[in-house]
Amino acid sequence: MTRKIALITASPPLALPFVRDVALHRRLDIEIALAIRIHPSMKLADRARDLRRTIVRRSKINGTSVVAQSIHYLVNRQFMRTRNPRPTMAAAIDALREGRRFVAATSVNEPAVAAALQAQELALGVVIGGDVFSRRTLDALDLPLFNLHLSDPAFVRGLPPIFWEVLDGRDSIVLTMHRLTSTLDGGDVIHQRAVPIVWQPTLGATLRATRATFDQAIPALLEQGLRQILEGAARPRPIVPGPLRTLPSTGQLLEARRKCRKRWRESHAKAR
């Protein structure tokens, strides 16, 4: 019997390879019956309010002043634009809508989201590039949710992906599928998959090259994790959650850039 699942995403292009992999759906005998797209309000007043809240929250997490965190945010706008090109947002949203119920919301904690998740006989929900669920929302849902985290949560929680591994000089990132709980990226691990960091002479090029690699690895990670869950073979592994990170400082960006150059030179020297 085909099992119905829900997909919740705030990053449709990131979820697109999983959505379009019909062969994967057949192998697992699943159907994405519900797609929920989370997108913040585009009203100027709402965006200004949300940005203030975000900066205050990040300043508390990072132990910096609001002014310093505001500067980090402005600097990182350029940093975040170094992402690997992906299919357009419009194409990704069209794929989410195709042949299934589609719900758009500004937050996963809106009543409409909980209502949609409870309106169908769903086996589980998969969160890819999602929003932060409140404890109240999770308590109200009688549905297991599993999150894709683009790192090893025992090393780092939060964002941005790849950067903190680069700064730490690691050889790979560890994509993780875990149970979603009220502790951000802190739920029991279901499955993990290591993806090598593709060192390039600049930070932006390193991020783009590595993203292209892990974009291809995501469907396989989700397939293996979902198979374990659906077949009752999953062995959730508790972790000690790592530090919660947000946007890096200017100094950290410069240090990561230096490390990219160094590791790229070393890799080319070994290849000769």
Domains of the chain: 3-271 (3.40.50.170)
* Residues 146 and 124 sit within 8 Å (Cβ to Cβ): yes
Higher pLDDT, 156 or 271: 156
Q: Which helix (H) or strand (E) holds 101?
A: strand 101-105
Q: DSSP string of 183-199?
A: STT-SPEEEEEEEE---
Quick one: pLDDT at residue 129?
A: 87
**Mean pLDDT score, 187-191:** 97
Q: Which helix (H) or strand (E) holds 155?
A: none
Asked whether the predicted pLDDT for residue 45 surpasses 90, the reply is no
Quick: pLDDT tens for 111-150.
999 999 998 799 999 999 877 898 999 998 989 999 999 9
Exposed, middle or buried, 197 (CB in 10 Å: 0-12/13-18/19+)?
buried
Instruction: Provide the H-helix boundaries in the chain.
Output: 12-20, 22-28, 44-62, 66-80, 89-97, 111-118, 135-140, 163-168, 203-230, 250-271
The predicted pLDDT at position 82 comes to: 46
Tens-place pLDDT, residues 88-101 = 888 999 999 999 99
pLDDT score for 52 = 74
Q: For the ranges 7-21, 55-69, 124-138, which has the lowest average pLDDT?
A: 55-69
Chain position carrying tokens 């680069």: 166
Nearest to 97 by CA among 7, 167, 157: 7
Is the pLDDT at 79 greater than 60? The verdict is no
Q: How far, in Å, CA of 180 to CA of 223, rounded? A: 17
- What confidence tens digit (pLDDT) does each residue in 215-266 have? 889 999 999 999 999 999 999 999 999 999 888 888 899 999 999 999 999 9
Residue with tokens 């205050």: 56
Amino acid at 203: L
What is the pLDDT averaged over residues 2-12?
A: 95
User: What whole-number distance in Å separates Cα of residue 214 and Cα of residue 20?
Assistant: 16
Residue 66 — pLDDT band, cuts 50, 70, 90? confident
SS3 for 10? coil
